[in-house]
Amino acid sequence: MSTVQTKLTNQQQYEGAMYINGRALPVQNPIPIPNPARLTEVVGTIPKGSIAECHMAIEAAQAAFPAWAALSIHERARTVATAYEAFMPGMDDRAVLLSRENGKTRIEAWFDCMGAKRCVDYYVNLSKDFELEWEPPAPNGRVVVTRKPMGVAGIIVPWNAPVLLAYLGIAPALIAGNTVVVKPSNFVPLALIDTVRLMAEYLPPGVLNVITGPGAAIGKELASHPLVRRMIFTGSVEVGKQVLLDAASTVKRCTMELGGNDPAIVLPDANLDTAVPGILRAVFTGAGQICYDVKRIYVQKDIYSQFVKCFTEAADEIVVGNGLDPNVTMGSITTKEQYNFVNDLIAESKAGSGKVTVVGKKAVSEEEWKNGYFILPHIVTGVDHRHRVVTCEQFGPIIPIISFDTEEEAVRLANDSEFGLASSIWTEDIEHAWELARKIDAGTTFVNTHAVASAVDMPFGGFKWSGLGRSHGVIALEEQYELQTLSTRKLQGGN
């Protein structure tokens, strides 16, 4: 059995083989996975993956489906709970692996890896009294509504929090009776492949498979294939739209977790002693590369200057460097594309009428700095609400702070976006915050907090272009099933 502990010390390379139908495939055409915080270091390899292997995985999952679906939900939950124990012992080493392939801090990586446990625990518990069948009152006959698993679920995962995000789909899909094919991002695949492989070894062959390969070919094939009945996609709006088009060709059920541009609204009575560190954490976690990170801050004009001063001072304490260094509080950007995008955004912000303040400390030498995708925190003030640094999903450590006058204006600005993932309101008047929260068009509105990963029992997803359907909570399990109505009921006067 392969485990990350036996293969990995800090500098060893991890071979991320595909796992299909109960066995790891030999790695052919290996693609190197670099460490974004040390570009000369190769963290591991994955195979390129072909359409034929994608088909093999889908067909294995389809073949495993009838027997897996025929088990009771309790039998499946027991099997899944036992299987996940397998990946628990290597958790710390896996967090190191994830930090090396993603660039995030070790603690952030550990939180992501532990996400698999939180998801499995939650859905195993939920299965204990999950209602699978019920009889609505029916005159003239009997009606039974029953839940049926759908078949093969395809799960496509981004690079920013791959383990947690994959398991938000894997755990409810398996417990519902669906079989699974996971496709990680080519940028950060290794910790997820390791987690899935370890768990899959304890499940019947074909129930859980992991494939690799370019999104535009392998991801597209998964989204289009007729045997895949449920698609769970987490990623950008741009690719999400393409996946929806591809999934439409076979009328798949889709859950789409897409981009965000979360606003934080700071009211004049906010307690800055708690609001500033709370918002700061929500801005710079994962170097700004989390869908739920705060990406625009709106502050009432009476406290604007004070807020900017406190926020800038606090952000100046951020230590940027290699995520494995325990002194580092913010890691690197993950991909070259994202690094270039954020640097362009910084240049654009500097060229306009706004003011850009660069803060934070470097925990590496100038030479090491150039050998990684590092960017210090950037604070942008004095820009218009329509500036691109405000309207786009920056996905990097650059944050605009904008002043508003009235609450109506704040709500209008917060809602003036094609995104609607999460948001937050910061005030000492909690009752008033609850009222205001209802006016925000977002899947989640926090009050005096802005979690960067919503709790697994809270429905999670976006309004508008931020997504379709919901992950987390009971709804994510319900969405794994088709509803079938069995009926002897006759319509009045008819059949």
| Residues annotated as part of the active site | 257, 291
Q: Which is nearer to ligand NAD, 83 or 191 (CB)?
A: 191
424: phi then psi, degrees, rounded to nearest 5: -150, 155
Residue 182 interacts with ligand NAD (CB under 6 A)? no
Contact window for ligand NAD (CB under 6 A) among 47-55, 135-143, 233-241, 294-302: 233-241
* Least Cβ distance, residue 119 to ligand NAD (angstroms): 13
Chain mean position to CA 176: 21
The token pair that represents 474 in the structure block: 């009971």
Residue 216 interacts with ligand NAD (CB under 6 A)? yes
87: left (phi over 0), alpha (psi -120 to 50) or beta: alpha
Contact window for ligand NAD (CB under 6 A) among 236-244, 300-308, 323-331, 396-404: 236-244
* Least Cβ distance, residue 233 to ligand NAD (angstroms): 7
Residue 257 interacts with ligand NAD (CB under 6 A)? yes
Give dist(CA 91, CA 454) in Å, integer.
Answer: 21
Residue 356 interacts with ligand NAD (CB under 6 A)? no
Residue 183 interacts with ligand NAD (CB under 6 A)? yes
Contact window for ligand NAD (CB under 6 A) among 15-23, 104-112, 256-264, 298-306: 256-264
| Choice from 34, 44, 103, 467 touching ligand NAD (CB under 6 A) | 467
The b-or-e profile of 460-478 (16+ CB within 10 A means b, else e) is bbbbbbbbbbbbbbeebbe
Paired residues of 133 in beta bridges: 146
The token pair that represents 252 in the structure block: 């798949």
* Least Cβ distance, residue 24 to ligand NAD (angstroms): 20
| Choice from 16, 169, 260, 321 touching ligand NAD (CB under 6 A) | 260
Contact window for ligand NAD (CB under 6 A) among 83-91, 145-153, 237-245, 317-325: 237-245
Q: Which is nearer to ligand NAD, 343 or 357 (CB)?
A: 343
| Choice from 154, 172, 206, 235 touching ligand NAD (CB under 6 A) | 235
Give dist(CA 190, CA 288) in Å, integer.
Answer: 22
* Least Cβ distance, residue 269 to ligand NAD (angstroms): 31
Q: Which is nearer to ligand NAD, 120 or 442 (CB)?
A: 442
The single residue listed with the structure tokens 């099933």 is: 481
Q: Where are the beta strands (DSSP E) in 327-369?
A: 355-358, 361-362
* Least Cβ distance, residue 395 to ligand NAD (angstroms): 6
Pattern 357-396, binding to ligand NAD, x per CB under 6 A?
A: ------------------------------------x-x-
Residue 215 interacts with ligand NAD (CB under 6 A)? yes
90: phi then psi, degrees, rounded to nearest 5: -90, 15
Q: Residue 357, exposed/middle/buried by CB under 10 A (0-12, 13-18, 19+)?
A: middle
Give dist(CA 289, CA 160) in Å, integer.
Answer: 6
Residue 157 interacts with ligand NAD (CB under 6 A)? yes
CA–CA distances in Å: residue 477 to residues 73, 158, 261: 11, 21, 27
Pattern 113-152, binding to ligand NAD, x per CB under 6 A?
A: ----------------------------------------
Q: Residue 285, exposed/middle/buried by CB under 10 A (0-12, 13-18, 19+)?
A: buried
The token pair that represents 414 in the structure block: 């917060």
Q: Which is nearer to ligand NAD, 147 or 183 (CB)?
A: 183
Q: Which amino acid is at 434?
A: W
Nearest partner of 178 among 201, 150, 197, 137, judged by Cα: 150
Contact window for ligand NAD (CB under 6 A) among 55-63, 75-83, 159-167, 320-328: 159-167
Residue 211 interacts with ligand NAD (CB under 6 A)? no
Give dist(CA 67, CA 361) in Å, integer.
Answer: 56
Contact window for ligand NAD (CB under 6 A) among 51-59, 140-148, 155-163, 191-199: 155-163
Residue 194 interacts with ligand NAD (CB under 6 A)? no
Pattern 397-436, binding to ligand NAD, x per CB under 6 A?
A: ------------------------x---------------
Rounded to the nearest 10°, the torsion over CA 86, 91, 96, 102 is: 80
Q: Where are the beta strands (DSSP E) in 105-247?
A: 133-134, 143-149, 152-156, 179-183, 208-210, 228-234
Residue 158 interacts with ligand NAD (CB under 6 A)? yes
Q: What is the arrangement of strands in the sheet containing 444-447, beginning at the earlier edge strand?
A: 355-358, 378-381, 398-404, 294-300, 262-266, 422-426, 444-447
Contact window for ligand NAD (CB under 6 A) among 20-28, 103-111, 239-247, 375-383: 239-247
Residue 234 interacts with ligand NAD (CB under 6 A)? yes
Residue 219 interacts with ligand NAD (CB under 6 A)? yes
Pair 105, 327: CB distance under 8 Å: no
CA–CA distances in Å: residue 401 to residues 91, 262, 276, 306, 388: 38, 12, 12, 12, 13
Write out the residues near ligand NAD by the rule CB under 6 A.
Answer: 156-161, 165, 183, 185-186, 215-216, 219-220, 223, 234-236, 239, 242-243, 257-260, 291, 393, 395, 421, 462, 467
